[in-house]
Amino acid sequence: MRIIQINANDAGQRLDKFLLKLMPAMPKGMLYKLIRKKDIRLNGKRCQGAELLAVGDEVRIFAKEEFFARPKQAFPFQAAKGTPQIVYEDAQIIIAYKPSGMFAHGGENGAVSLLDEIQKYLYDKGLYHPEEEQSFAPALCNRIDRNTEGLVIAAVTAEALRTMNAAIRDRLVQKRYLAVTAAPLPKREDTCTAWLSRDERTRRVTVKAEQFPGSKRICTQYKVLAQNGSLQLAEIGLLTGRTHQIRAHLAYLGAPLLGDPKYGKQDAREENQCLCARSLTFTGLGGTALAALDGKTVKAPLPAFVSRYFPDFQES
């Protein structure tokens, strides 16, 4: 039998979700069988699994020790050697600048991700103790493509993760991007709508003017900031957040991203894709764990591709 005391990073989630994280080797069906048989009890009483946990709750689990086993490489973030470029930090949130070419999380073939670097940074500062955590690890609240650079939000605590995820879902976080297009946009400034569908097999999206089977509506704002021959520097705002929305929508408008081989020229070098998640503006966070961000805009430095293609550009 195991007796588990619920801490601050465990609280606020459903009991069954917590147990699946605590016992990664246990099949979901077996977990619910233990709950039905009263082999899992919350504060000494029968439970259903849907209960929300609070700090100080006690969970008793009658299960084999093998189900509590952790993977052999418990802390893969320790392979990270670099230090994240932090643009904003407080006790709840880190906002870091992800370079182009780096995975935001879950790096393939052992590649170190931005999340690995952030977890290692917190671990080295003594702010993250993975050996003491039962169900939580610092996590990303938003993600950007591997070959897009820019701002990524990471939650340091479970409460921050829940609050920021809800804020993003409720559109309390405004994201602005900078992009270089390989051809001129139709207008100097516009708000455009279309319909987008993703093909999971090819990992490409299709954009059309009218709704079609499996498609979802997209809405993208843009404003041209500078021009150099056929190239344009544009600020992009997302009113919807779909996979590859900016890349595919701009290509549909006849102005694909410079350096994007998927939706632009097929011979483009993907590592030079000119798209940057430049700024984040937070509203409606007063009275929450993220009150320090309420009304704040976090902006990254100008990406290198701006001076490369628009050497005379000056921000107003």
Question: What is the domain-level CATH number for residue 24?
Answer: 3.10.290.10
Return the closest-CA partner of residue 111 out of 80, 68, 69.
Answer: 80
pLDDT in tens, 115-168: 999 999 999 999 999 888 888 999 999 999 888 999 999 999 999 999 999 999
- Number of helices and strands in the chain (H, E): 6, 15
Q: Is residue 311 part of a domain?
A: no
Same domain for 241 and 188: yes
Q: Is residue 308 part of a domain?
A: no
Q: Is residue 265 part of a domain?
A: yes
Same domain for 53 and 21: yes
Same domain for 290 and 218: no
Question: What is the domain-level CATH number for residue 247?
Answer: 3.30.2350.10
Same domain for 224 and 135: no
Same domain for 214 and 190: yes
Same domain for 157 and 27: no
Same domain for 202 and 162: no
Ramachandran category for residue 38: left, alpha or beta (phi over 0 → left; psi -120 to 50 → alpha):
left
Same domain for 266 and 193: yes
Q: State if pTM tops 0.85.
A: yes
Same domain for 205 and 85: no
Q: Is residue 84 part of a domain?
A: yes
d(CA 314, CA 285): 32
Q: Is residue 309 part of a domain?
A: no
Same domain for 210 and 294: no
In sequence order, what DSSP letters do the residues of 223-240 get, joined into one string?
EEEEEETTEEEEEEEESS
Which residues span the domain enclosing 27? 2-68
Q: Is residue 310 part of a domain?
A: no
Ramachandran category for residue 287: left, alpha or beta (phi over 0 → left; psi -120 to 50 → alpha):
left
Total structural domains within the chain: 3
Compute, in degrees rounded to 10, the torsion defined by CA atoms 121, 125, 129, 130.
10
Same domain for 53 and 36: yes
Q: Per this entry, what is the length of the chain? A: 316
Same domain for 121 and 42: no
What's the number of CA atoms in the CB half-sphere (13 Å) around residue 137?
17
Ranges of beta strands (E only) in the chain are 2-5, 40-42, 45-46, 58-61, 85-89, 93-98, 139-140, 149-155, 173-181, 189-199, 204-208, 216-228, 231-238, 275-282, 297-299
Q: Is residue 236 part of a domain?
A: yes
The per-residue pLDDT string of the chain (316 residues; one tens digit each, 9 = 90 and over) reads 899 999 999 999 999 999 999 998 899 999 999 999 999 999 999 999 999 999 999 999 999 888 887 665 568 888 889 999 999 999 999 999 999 999 998 877 778 999 999 999 999 999 999 888 888 999 999 999 888 999 999 999 999 999 999 999 999 999 999 999 999 999 999 999 999 999 988 889 999 999 999 999 999 999 999 999 999 999 999 999 899 999 999 999 999 999 998 898 755 554 568 999 999 999 999 999 999 999 999 999 999 999 999 999 998 7
Side chain identity at 186, as an amino acid letter?
P
Q: Look up residue 279 and give its two tokens.
A: 């700024």
Q: Is residue 267 part of a domain?
A: yes
* Domain limit, last residue, from 48, 68, 88: 68
